[in-house]
Structure 1
Amino acid sequence: MKTLYKNILVISLMALFFVACHSDLELEPVSPNSLTELDVYENEETAFKALAKLYQSYATAGQLGGNDATTPPGPDIPGLSQAAVNWSDFVYLSNFLNDVSTDISVVAWTSPGIQNINTMVWTSQNFYSNTMYYRLAAIISFCNSFIENVKSLPDTKNVQYYSAEARYLRALAYYYMMDYFGNVPLVTQVSTELPVQNSRDDLFEFIETELLEVKDLLMDSGTNDYGRVDQVAAWALLSRLYLNAEVYVGENKYNDAVIYSELAINSTYTLNTTDANGNGTAYDELFLGDNNKNGAQVEFIHTINYDGLNTAYWGGATNLVHGYLGGSIDPSLYGVSNGWWGLRTTKSFVERFDYAVTETNAEGEPIAWSDSRAMFYTDGQTLEISDAIKFNQGYLTPKWSNLYSDGSQGSDVAGNWVDTDVPIFRLAEMYLNYAEATLRGGNGDDGKALQYINDLRTRAGASTITSGDLTLDFMIDERAREMYLECNRRTDLIRFGHFTGGDYLWSFKGGVESGKAVDNYRSIYPIPYEVLLANPNLEQNPGY
């Protein structure tokens, strides 16, 4: 059952032909009559396929993967060019908004708006931030319609689970809306009225209330199909929500962050500590093409699932593999046919691993590390970056791969599309959240916090630390080492006060080679200009 759901996401949906109506591109649910040409709420079986659409809307640009903007039913977000459709999925956009905007990634591409993310000078007409707004709005619309329509079915246990999963997926989308855009409309029912603007406080309260309710309505830990969420996903999102509560609503909720982190830690999910060959380090297997079955899946609380045959799509996980390859690197070693010569990392991030350097080059620059999380490729690459668009400047970070644990390539023999699943939550984050919340004054156990961090470091082959080493300065670096390129870095830097301002600089922060201070309003993205034109009830975020 766990592997079956990966294919259900696309295969069982091909005949449903959902058509979203977001022509005005505002945060407003679509009419349920526009969602399908068939009665998908006829029974539990068809409702399950409709539920799969909600999961799929996090994975690709549309019903058929989204690569063809002209083939019915088309992408979830109408009106985009073909090129734009290819880059309009949640994972691709998250990579740019939460990684490329930080010290983790520098991009060499010059598509309109892309360097503005790189240099933190985006506007309300930026493709990447705007399309994320539309993507999340589409997900919320799909969820609202599903939650309303599934009520027409008999109130069986399965229907209750489906509804709870849809409510979780909607809460997750609103979490990202709140994190990225601050004050946005909160709409939970199908309506033709223009929505009013809500505050971050309103959104936080809604997300918290929804999760506290659905955590007891979702399936028990480890009992759902792989790719579908259970109660632990709600605990994990609550953990992240409470850890960032001071940013979102100005309240200290670290005790709650400790509680829900530990609930997740004590669930059926475990760290993947032994690789397929029986070795003691297995960090890299979390990011391979068979991570749904190579042992990594025991750590994944919520994943976005990909399949090289059934979710053939240029964005998503395909970009995470191809986009970080180029130069002299051999793409076949990562299970794909080519690299896209796009993304590298900064010297500032490489320096987070200075304690683990085992070899340097003639210039004294590091080229080998004892920590297995330091997945840097240095041949032909310079450590320093003086020109963001020159791909040979900056070390490569080929963390994601389409190879299987046995060395074979993913299911697409052409090496284009990848099988690698992308975790939204994995257990390692709960270890980090528990430790950080405890350090910040939450009612956690100092000994447990230290043990959790050392468990992660031991898996990576890194040296363990003592209680005196476990500080907040250590934690922001450890979070980067463990979770880079998993679309969390911007949120972490904001919480630590390092994203804006001048306390922490990296290459091209603020558009300057050595980095410069950035105004605090950049901590949230602007509401799209077109949305403001369409809805006079909305006001732009300060600074834009």
Structure 2
Amino acid sequence: MKLYKIKLIFTISILALCSIGCTNLDEESFGSLSPDTYYNTEEEALSSVVGVYQALSSVSSIDRPWRLQEYGTDEFVIPGRASGGWFDQDVIDIVTHTTTPVNADVNRAWYSLFQEIGIANAVLESLQASPNSENLKSLIAETRALRAYGYFFAMDLWGNIPLVTVARIDPNNLPATRPRAEVFEFIESEMLAAIQDLPSITEVDKASYYPRFTKEAIQAAMATMYLNAEVYTGTPRWSDAVSMCNEVINTNAYDLEADVVDNFKSTNEENSIELLSSFSIDPTKNAGNNQFILYTNHSPDKVKYNLPFTPANGFSTFPEALNRYEDQDNRKLLIEYGPQYYLDGVTPLTYPDGTQLDIIPVQDLVSAADNEGYKVLKYTPVGASFAGYNADNDLVLMRYSDILLTKAEALFRDSNTTPSVSLGLVNRVRERSNATPLNSLTIQDIEDERAREFLWEGHRRRDMIRFGTYFTGTWSFKTTTTEAFRGVYPIPEIQRSANPNLDQNLGYDN
């Protein structure tokens, strides 16, 4: 059963099931619905688990957890406009690598992720306490994986974080921050345990099971975690990353779509051969929304794409992102830049005064003109359905191309392997988009290919930190090197005020 079909049930059940969640850590979070009278069927239980998916979707939507994965990189910016719109000093600070513990966007991301963890804790406790728990093993595993995924993103963004695994928090014994390596071990153990009871993609009816987690979805998540293990723990885990990639590859259940944009269309649902994990969206049923088009596109795009709203012209990208692509690379078509035309490619797209829209790079981070800032149309409005300003394109979490490029990088970094296998995997991804095959491979080639393939998919900050370019690189509005401590965000001061047991990350405590 598709998740969007039961999201309305979740609205009722989760309100009864738990309170605000483990967000402000001095507040209690608890389950109040008796498991003795609920979860008699899998559908009843799933109606609560779906709420955890909905909470986790913030890592792929326009919400702050996704933004914090993109802010401060060379591919994402929200400039203030000369009209007065969009200016936010908190955003500017993150973009320029000068953020502080009082940054409101950082706090919103913290709140969102720990809310997801709190909901997962409450749902998990009720599932485990149900008299029917023996028949709910796969849903218990699913919820453990969802909670672990939330912890993965929190660990990635903040490093040392609290670990909370209960729905009720003792206000007299608030959780303290735990070392990043310890959090890594917890996530690893939870995901490995979940994999044991999750079904494989080869064992389910893909159309009806979509988009719930399978073994392969969590193996893909672990591949990402192992790829970054040296950053998180100080110890590389290249061979483990390869092993997890091979688990996915060896199912023969996945492949690359013919065109990368097929993954982001309104029809990118259960028929996709590339999506490993995603979040189902149907705004007409109050089941989530996709607002990338609203937040990104220019106002004249309303008529170009026959949209039922005027786009807000916020999210933008830099020339550095555009210039990575060869002209014939089909992925370059996902970026709007230069003089704009209607879909016929001939008729100029104009403002009401008749002036053609000509998109130029951001010149002023604080007071940009309306036409400054290249646009990324990864979630294409072509063919999408809308409820107000909400599109129905499903949100992507991980794709098979990530498995191929993760394996390529892990093999390349492993001194016991030859580069030829990695080269073949990278070229397989490049050839799909009509990019010229590479004759040889460097570590820079791998970083650049990931940047091309996963533009605005929430990978870039993590990748840049792993490759070191987050610190040593310079690009638009970042003209100096970055201190190493900025590889994690500061623990929000408002959270530390609520919970004195949270230690501030080094470098932010001055």
Q: TM-score range by the shorter chain?
A: 0.7 to 0.9
**Alpha-carbon shift at residue 59 of structure 1 (Å):** 3.2
- Which residue is equivalent to 2:351? none
Question: Structure 1 residues 206, 52: CA separation in 2 closer, same or farther (over 3 Å shift)?
Answer: same
- Which residue is equivalent to 1:531? 495
For the pair 1:173 / 2:150, whether they are aligned, the reply is yes
- Which residue is equivalent to 1:518? 482
Matches within 5 A, 1:349-388: 349-353=321-325, 356-357=326-327, 369-378=328-337, 379=339, 380-381=357-358, 383-388=360-365
Question: Structure 1 residues 262, 27: CA separation in 2 closer, same or farther (over 3 Å shift)?
Answer: farther
1:499 paired residue among 460, 467, 470: 470
Residues in 2 aligned to 1:220 and 1:308: alpha-carbon distance in whole angstroms:
29
Q: CA RMSD in A?
A: 2.6
Asked if 1 retains the 8 angstrom alpha-carbon contact of 2:56 and 2:150, the reply is: no
Question: Structure 1 residues 167, 536: CA separation in 2 closer, same or farther (over 3 Å shift)?
Answer: same
The SS at the match of 1:531 is: helix
- Which residue is equivalent to 1:206? 186
- Which residue is equivalent to 1:125? 102
- Which residue is equivalent to 2:347? none
Asked if 1 retains the 8 angstrom alpha-carbon contact of 2:302 and 2:308, the reply is: no
Superposed CA offset, 1:475-532 (max 9, x none)? 11100100011011000000001112xx3111112xxxxx222222211111111111
For the pair 1:13 / 2:42, whether they are aligned, the reply is no
Percent of aligned positions with the same letter in both sequences?
A: 28
Residues in 2 aligned to 1:444 and 1:93: alpha-carbon distance in whole angstroms:
39
- Which residue is equivalent to 2:29? 30
Question: Structure 1 residues 174, 325: CA separation in 2 closer, same or farther (over 3 Å shift)?
Answer: same
Asked if 2 retains the 8 angstrom alpha-carbon contact of 1:41 and 1:152, the reply is: no
Superposed CA offset, 1:107-136 (max 9, x none)? 122145222222222221222211111111
The SS at the match of 1:57 is: helix
- Which residue is equivalent to 1:366? none
Equivalent pairs counted in the alignment come to 473
Matches within 5 A, 1:274-289: 274=258, 282-289=259-266
- Which residue is equivalent to 2:350? none
Which AA in structure 1 matches 2:188? E
For the pair 1:107 / 2:78, whether they are aligned, the reply is yes
- Which residue is equivalent to 2:251? 267
Residues in 2 aligned to 1:299 and 1:221: alpha-carbon distance in whole angstroms:
12
Matches within 5 A, 1:471-510: 471-500=442-471, 503-509=472-478
Residues in 2 aligned to 1:28 and 1:251: alpha-carbon distance in whole angstroms:
36
Which AA in structure 2 matches 1:393? E
Question: Structure 1 residues 141, 94: CA separation in 2 closer, same or farther (over 3 Å shift)?
Answer: closer
The SS at the match of 1:237 is: helix
Residues in 1 aligned to 2:226 and 2:487: alpha-carbon distance in whole angstroms:
18
Asked if 1 retains the 8 angstrom alpha-carbon contact of 2:30 and 2:122, the reply is: yes
- Which residue is equivalent to 2:57? 59
Which AA in structure 2 matches 1:525? Y
Asked if 2 retains the 8 angstrom alpha-carbon contact of 1:59 and 1:305, the reply is: no
Residues in 2 aligned to 1:352 and 1:129: alpha-carbon distance in whole angstroms:
29
Matches within 5 A, 1:121-200: 121-154=98-131, 158-190=135-167, 191-192=169-170, 193-200=173-180
**Alpha-carbon shift at residue 272 of structure 1 (Å):** 3.8
Residues in 2 aligned to 1:490 and 1:331: alpha-carbon distance in whole angstroms:
34
Asked if 1 retains the 8 angstrom alpha-carbon contact of 2:155 and 2:183, the reply is: yes
**Alpha-carbon shift at residue 411 of structure 1 (Å):** 4.7
Asked if 2 retains the 8 angstrom alpha-carbon contact of 1:28 and 1:194, the reply is: no
**Alpha-carbon shift at residue 332 of structure 1 (Å):** 4.6
Which AA in structure 2 matches 1:7? K
Residues in 2 aligned to 1:336 and 1:178: alpha-carbon distance in whole angstroms:
39
- Which residue is equivalent to 1:399? 378
Q: Which runs of 5+ in 1 are unaligned?
A: 61-87, 275-281, 358-368, 510-514
2:281 paired residue among 281, 287, 306: 306
Residues in 2 aligned to 1:247 and 1:238: alpha-carbon distance in whole angstroms:
14
- Which residue is equivalent to 1:441? 414
For the pair 1:463 / 2:455, whether they are aligned, the reply is no
The SS at the match of 2:273 is: helix
The SS at the match of 1:106 is: coil
Asked if 2 retains the 8 angstrom alpha-carbon contact of 1:29 and 1:142, the reply is: no
Residues in 1 aligned to 2:395 and 2:176: alpha-carbon distance in whole angstroms:
34
Superposed CA offset, 1:141-182 (max 9, x none)? 111122222122345665000000001001101111110011
**Alpha-carbon shift at residue 446 of structure 1 (Å):** 4.0
Residues in 2 aligned to 1:334 and 1:246: alpha-carbon distance in whole angstroms:
47
Asked if 1 retains the 8 angstrom alpha-carbon contact of 2:22 and 2:117, the reply is: no
Which deviates further from its counterpart, 303-312 or 13-22? 13-22
Q: Greater share of helix residues, 1 or 2?
A: 2
- Which residue is equivalent to 1:85? none
Asked if 2 retains the 8 angstrom alpha-carbon contact of 1:287 and 1:400, the reply is: yes
Residues in 2 aligned to 1:259 and 1:196: alpha-carbon distance in whole angstroms:
34
Residues in 2 aligned to 1:442 and 1:169: alpha-carbon distance in whole angstroms:
34
Which AA in structure 2 matches 1:170? R
Asked if 2 retains the 8 angstrom alpha-carbon contact of 1:410 and 1:419, the reply is: yes
The SS at the match of 1:423 is: strand
The SS at the match of 1:465 is: coil
**Alpha-carbon shift at residue 97 of structure 1 (Å):** 0.8
Superposed CA offset, 1:35-76 (max 9, x none)? 79995445433222111111111236xxxxxxxxxxxxxxxx
Question: Structure 1 residues 336, 99: CA separation in 2 closer, same or farther (over 3 Å shift)?
Answer: farther
Asked if 2 retains the 8 angstrom alpha-carbon contact of 1:20 and 1:30, the reply is: yes
Residues in 2 aligned to 1:235 and 1:124: alpha-carbon distance in whole angstroms:
34
Which AA in structure 1 matches 2:324? R
The SS at the match of 2:276 is: strand
Q: Which runs of 5+ in 2 are unaligned?
A: 80-85, 340-356
- Which residue is equivalent to 1:361? none
